[in-house]
Amino acid sequence: MLRIDIQGAPEVVTLLCSGRLVLGVEAETLRCMAASRPEARVVVDLQQVYAMDAAGLGLLVELHCRARQQASLLMLANPSPCVRRLMALTNLESVLQVAGPAAPELARNNHEEQRAMTA
Amino acid sequence: MSGSSQSVEHDALACEFVFTGDPAAMIAVRDRVMDFLHEHCADEQQEIDIMIALQEGLANAVLHGCRNDPSKVIRCYVDVTPEAITIVITDPGEGFDTAAVIESTGVGTNLTQHGRGINLMRGLMDEVSYRRGGSELHLKKLRTRQL
């Protein structure tokens, strides 16, 4: 089971995930939730995710690639030890944007810098 | 036999799960296998490792071995000994070039949505091997707790 709590801040939304992010309804729930957000900056907090499989990792890559295509931002926050281990096993640590508790603030600043550079 | 599964318990520490080649049946079997293994895992981390590896093995059997065809059948045999937990997943597919696939999954960073399953299984389990040309997957996790 995966539970997602939504935490809003101006122009940034944080999706607080808890449970397991695996193939099936869990991965589909996060996919729909992330896709439905109007904010250009989405933080996915993984501190309470105790298990993830290849489908979950694939979903994070999918959301990351989609955000880049749309010139928006996806940031992962506080990955649990399990999530960190799986990201390391699949060499995704260097690709996905990962931050600690300050992720929402970083997401806001990072996106504003990107906008300034492209303006 | 569409979307169904059944199990035959051989003894207290071994069980065979038989299910059809569709994702819904696979997820139900994954959870049933983990229910069976719950009390035999040394700790929560070992249980999570096995769950993830099992998930990958079953998903590959459904997707590649059965091509999501619910008329095909997958067998998942689980055996618990004092030394190890062994899972054998057999699908009716033609198998694959195991050496080539294992070599390709270990190179570089994969930015697609698929193709991480074998890497994960190899990282999480103590032994991962394929037999019968790739249509039979053997997963082994050593136990750190005595029965």
ipTM: 0.71
Residue B138: is it exposed, middle or buried by C-beta count within 10 angstroms (0-12/13-18/19+)? middle
pLDDT of residue B1: 44
Q: How many CB pairs under 8 A join A and B?
A: 64
Question: Structural domain of residue B79, as residue ranges?
Answer: 5-142
pLDDT of residue B10: 53
How many domains, chain A?
A: 1
Q: How far is Cα A61 from Cα A69, in angstroms, rounded to an integer?
A: 12
pLDDT of residue A119: 56
For residue B105, is it within any domain?
A: yes
Q: How far is Cα B141 from Cα B125, in angstroms, rounded to an integer?
A: 5
For residue B147, is it within any domain?
A: no
Contact B123 A89 (CB under 8 A): yes
pLDDT of residue B2: 46
For residue B138, is it within any domain?
A: yes
CATH number at residue B28: 3.30.565.10
Question: Structural domain of residue A64, as residue ranges?
Answer: 2-118
For residue B102, is it within any domain?
A: yes
Q: What percent of chain B has pLDDT over 70?
A: 81
Q: Is A13 on the interface with B (CB under 8 A)?
A: no
* Mean predicted confidence (pLDDT) in B98-127: 77
* Distances from the Cα of B21 to the Cα of A23, B29, B63, B116, angstroms: 15, 11, 8, 20
For residue B104, is it within any domain?
A: yes
For residue B33, is it within any domain?
A: yes
Contact B59 A62 (CB under 8 A): no
For residue B107, is it within any domain?
A: yes
Q: What percent of chain A has pLDDT over 70?
A: 92
For residue B90, is it within any domain?
A: yes
